[in-house]
Amino acid sequence: MSKDLFGELKSLDEARSLLEAHFPGAAPSLEVEGVPLLKAGGRVLAQDVSAPRDVPGFRRSTVDGYAVRAGDTAGASEGLPAYLKRVGSVAMGEVPNLSLSAGEAAGVATGGMLPEGADAVVMFEYTDSPLSDELEVVRPVTQEENVIGADEDVARGQIVFTSGTYLRPSHVGVLSAMGFSEVPVWSRLRAVVFSSGDEVVPPGEIPLPGQIADMNGPTLTASLSGDGVEVQYAGILPDSAEAITAATREGLGAADLALISGGSSVGLRDVTGKVIDSLGPPGVLFHGVAMSPGKPTIAGKSVGSGAVFGLPGHPVSAQVVYTVLLRDLVHRLQGRGRVLPRPVVGAILVRSLAGPSGRTEYVRVRLKTEGQRILAEPILGKSGLLSTLALADGLVELTDARRGMDAGQRVEVILLDN
């Protein structure tokens, strides 16, 4: 038991900058692997992807209507329609078995191939056909109107998505349309999660009097899994520097990221720093962050480029540190090249919050809907109380610049969900 003797605390921004500087991109161990297209959602492209062929690959109508020669519709109006001869229609998915001569028109649906001789499509709405072989056109079209050229959408060889693209459903769709059935993505980031504390037993084991089942380890494991990380929960560390060093070294042999969350273990705080330094330079990057909860967070980098974190033992801390500090790092280590702003839920604060003192404070809130209004209710109660831990839907950030917040004020809630 030692007094709370951190060195100089880093601000949250400083801590983030240090992590960015030391872990700027994909973890070095990641490999390029091919995954089936339909499993590629949520993965990260490991190579630039260029189109293997022109798309659509043929001149295609963008509307339901009639393929024509644009010149034949010049000056057409409601009062003075252009009269064309209907010469059939294009079957979808086939090369048209007809070609257009001057004065002729052929039906074509959206996505259909233009017949030879045609250079535009008149929308169905601007036509009438009082006789079966005659077409009235009441608006002129210009050349290439309502037509996509064979390579206009994507030209063969064009880079469509760059390495580092996080694949959303629409990316999967576009890759399908370009002809891919397999996609080169980064292999999954691998993490190992340890807990510590002489009083902590792994989930499922029945605790003896004086013991409790691990909470932080399963929480962090679920957070990482939700972010697409391949995570190994490695159980409870013994309370000795040698054993922790050995376990961490072994864990990092098969992982890119190791999280050690402290139980109430005496002195673990100091041990984690020594463990990290013993893994080789650069060692400890920061030890103590001006945030609450989460102050005792320690971060380091091993000689093998693995990231190691010592997280505070308090269960709320693990949750908050993961959300505001670790998740962005995880995304970078996964190879994601572009980070979207974090979405928030706007809500009305139902209770005033005191301002933080010199650090960034996160207050857990539960969201409630009341008619059209969304309310954010700060979660109170004894801080260690298990039963309040899962009540929180999100966090309200109090920075030093903000001197507290008043009940009734609008706040932005960062969701904890992943």
Q: Quick check: 17 binds a copy of itself (CB under 8 A)?
A: no
Between CA 95 and CA 150 the distance in angstroms is 13
Binding residue (CB under 8 A) for a copy of itself from 213, 241, 246, 348: 213
Binding residue (CB under 8 A) for a copy of itself from 76, 175, 189, 271: 175
Between CA 143 and CA 147 the distance in angstroms is 9
Cβ(359)–Cβ(328) below 8 Å: no
Contacts 24+ apart (CB under 8 A), 130-134: 132/86, 133/85, 133/86, 134/83, 134/84, 134/85, 134/86
Binding residue (CB under 8 A) for a copy of itself from 110, 278, 305, 409: 110
The least distance separating a copy of itself from the CB of residue 103, rounded to whole angstroms, comes to 21
Q: How many CB atoms lie within 10 A of CB 167?
A: 20
Q: Quick check: 324 binds a copy of itself (CB under 8 A)?
A: no
Torsion of CA 75, 79, 85, 86, to 10 degrees: 110
Binding residue (CB under 8 A) for a copy of itself from 104, 119, 214, 256: 214
Q: What angle do CA 325, 331, 335 make, to 5 degrees?
A: 145
Place of tokens 């000056």: 75
Nearest partner of 179 among 156, 207, 196, judged by Cα: 156
Q: Quick check: 219 binds a copy of itself (CB under 8 A)?
A: yes
Q: Quick check: 418 binds a copy of itself (CB under 8 A)?
A: yes
The two beta strands, 190-196 and 257-261, are parallel
Closer by beta carbon to a copy of itself, 228 or else 282: 228
Binding residue (CB under 8 A) for a copy of itself from 75, 206, 281, 357: 206
Q: Quick check: 216 binds a copy of itself (CB under 8 A)?
A: yes
Q: Quick check: 178 binds a copy of itself (CB under 8 A)?
A: yes
The least distance separating a copy of itself from the CB of residue 290, rounded to whole angstroms, comes to 19
Scanning residues 36 to 65, which ones bind a copy of itself (CB under 8 A)?
37-42, 55-58, 60, 62, 64
Q: Output the DSSP codes for 248-309.
A: HHHHHHS-SEEEEE--S-TTHHHHHHHHHHHT-TTEEEEE-BSEES-TT-EEEE-TT--EEE
Binding residue (CB under 8 A) for a copy of itself from 32, 254, 380, 385: 385
Q: Quick check: 203 binds a copy of itself (CB under 8 A)?
A: yes
Q: Quick check: 348 binds a copy of itself (CB under 8 A)?
A: no
The least distance separating a copy of itself from the CB of residue 281, rounded to whole angstroms, comes to 33
**Cis amide leading into 169 (omega within 30):** no
Closer by beta carbon to a copy of itself, 143 or else 383: 383
Closer by beta carbon to a copy of itself, 125 or else 280: 125
Scanning residues 61 to 90, which ones bind a copy of itself (CB under 8 A)?
62, 64
**Amino acid in the structure at residue 361:** E
Scanning residues 128 to 157, which ones bind a copy of itself (CB under 8 A)?
148, 152-154
Q: Which helix (H) or strand (E) is 327 found in, with range?
A: helix 327-333
Question: Which x/- pattern over 267-296 shows residues binding a copy of itself (rule: CB under 8 A)?
Answer: ------------------------------
